[in-house]
Amino acid sequence: MDQKGYVMAGTSFLLLIPVILISVSLINFFQGENEIISQSIHSEKVSFAAGDIKRNIPILAREAMLNISLSLIDDNKTINNSTESIKTQLQLQINDLTATYNNQNINVICNVDSIETSPHDPFLIEFDFSLNIKTDNLKHEEKLSRLVSIEGMPDPLPFLKCRSYGSINHDNTRIFYGTSLSNYLESKNMDNSSYYENASSPFIIKKCPYEPYQSHGSNETMKNCQSNGFYHYSKDGSCYLCRLESKETCEHFGLEVFLQPVPVSNSNYSIIIDGPCSSDHVIFGIAPYTGHSLVYDIKNETVFFLFLDEGHGVKYGIN
């Protein structure tokens, strides 16, 4: 070993120190950049999952309500608590949706908190959800509220009320009562219940555009309203959720529709003066009362009429 050799080795060792320092800082820099990119990818995933679920929820909610309603109508079921039934059904469908995300290591929990008819508009049902998304180090919590329209949904109330009194059928737009409605009214000891034999009423809920309702005083308006089978706002009628529970009236802001007696020939009409009031919450109510007959259309010697009491007469502008 030569003494002179150590000097070269020593200084080149000194040179190594800055090299090491520079490489450490470069590696740190690259790692930091990678962390930033990976964080932004995770955050993008979470926000996409949240947006996807928020977009799908109103569609699933409407589907759940429709399935329950159709099971009541076509499969002869009854339910006691419509909110709970819809919640269970909807929760199943949402769990199917969130399962796809759980497979990608994104933990999604979406719970249905409450389902209520909107207090300002009975044609809208308000669904409240809480959404919880979690990945490795990111968390997203949100409470949402969505309004779902019931226009285009079938009305289950007549089926639930009249099923046990006879056979009741429907096609795509109307419900045909056959003898069930007149049997039902007879069981409530109403006079003139035979006028409702072969009655019909609308099957699909549609909102009446003829506002204010006093404009129904004109025969033409009433005729068009009845051919379309529009539903009207009513404080006495029941909201959609209560209709699913077979309640004809409820404390929420509700809907009402007219059940139309079968049109009769001109000569047969002359004997008809009074009959059970045609509003659905009256007929299916605890104590149906009578109303005066009102003609809204005459076609080919056939008379189309309804029974309206004074209260409804005032509401719809009919003298």
Partner 1 sequence: MFSLKLIKKLLPIILKKSFFKYKFKNIWINSEGFVFSTDLLLSLIIITVIIGISADAMDFGNALVGDYSSRATLERCTLEAADILIETPGSPYNWEKMSISSGISPGLAISYNYTNESSSNILSWEKIVSLGKKYSLLVDNKIFSKNIKSSIIIYPFDRRIDPLVLKNDAGSILSSEVFLVNRTVQCNFFSNYTVISINWHQNNCTNLSNNFLQEASDICPHDESNSDLNHMYPQENEYSNYWVCKHLTTSIAELEKTDYYLITEPNPIPIESVYWVIDTVDNISNENNSFTSSPIKLNGQIKDLIGNKNNTTIWIHFLGPEKKFSPFKIFLVGVPKNTEYKYIKAEYFQLQKCSFVLKTWF
Question: Interface residues with partner 1 (CB under 8 A)?
Answer: 4, 7-8, 11, 15, 18, 22, 29, 33, 36, 40, 47, 51, 54-55, 58-59, 66, 124, 126, 145-149, 152, 154, 172-173, 203-204, 206, 209-212, 215, 218, 220-221, 223-224, 227-228, 299-300
Measured from the CB atom, the residue of 229 and 237 that comes closer to partner 1 is 229
Task: Between 26 and 314, name the residue whose CB sits nearer to partner 1.
Answer: 26
Closest by CA position to 124, among listed 207, 184, 227, 183: 207
- Closer by beta carbon to partner 1, 45 or else 292: 45
CB of 82 to partner 1, least distance (A): 20
Q: Between 22 and 314, whose beta carbon lies closer to partner 1?
A: 22
Q: Closest distance between partner 1 and the C-beta of residue 170, in Å?
A: 9
Residues linked to residue 126 through DSSP beta bridges, in sequence order: 116, 147
Contact present, 168 and 177 (Cβ < 8 Å): yes
Q: Which residues pair with 275 in a beta bridge?
A: 291
Of 65 and 162, CB closest to partner 1: 65
What would the two tokens of residue 146 be?
């969505």
Minimum CB separation of residue 87 from partner 1 in Å reads 19
- Report the alpha-carbon distance of residue 209 to residue 232 in Å, rounded: 9
Q: Which C-beta is closer to partner 1: that of 271 or that of 299?
A: 299
Q: How far is the CB of 34 from partner 1 (least distance, A)?
A: 13
Task: Report in angstroms how near the CB of residue 188 gets to partner 1 at its nearest.
Answer: 31
Minimum CB separation from partner 1 for residue 29, in Å?
8
Closest CA to 295 of 304, 285, 283: 304
Please give the structure tokens belonging to residue 229. Answer: 């089978």
Residue 171 burial (10 A CB sphere; 0-12, 13-18, 19+): exposed
- Tell me how far apart the alpha carbons of residues 8 and 128 are, in angstroms, rounded to a whole number: 77
Separation CA 153–CA 67 (nearest Å): 10
Distance CA 161, CA 194 (A): 17
Tell me whether residue 18 or residue 103 sits nearer to partner 1 (CB atom): 18
- DSSP β-bridge partners for residue 169: 176
Residue with Cβ nearer partner 1 (75 or 299) = 299
| SS3 category, 48 | helix
Q: Are 255 and 263 in contact (CB under 8 A)?
A: no
Nearest-approach distance from CB 213 to partner 1, in angstroms? 10
Strand (E) or helix (H) holding 87: helix 82-102
Least spacing, CB of residue 169 vs partner 1, in Å: 14
Query: Residue 8 or residue 271: which is nearer to partner 1 going by CB?
Result: 8
Angle between helical axes of 82-102 and 3-74 (0-180°, round to 10): 150
CA distance 140 to 255: 39
CB of 227 to partner 1, least distance (A): 5
Residue 66 burial by CB count (10 A; 0-12/13-18/19+): exposed, middle or buried? middle
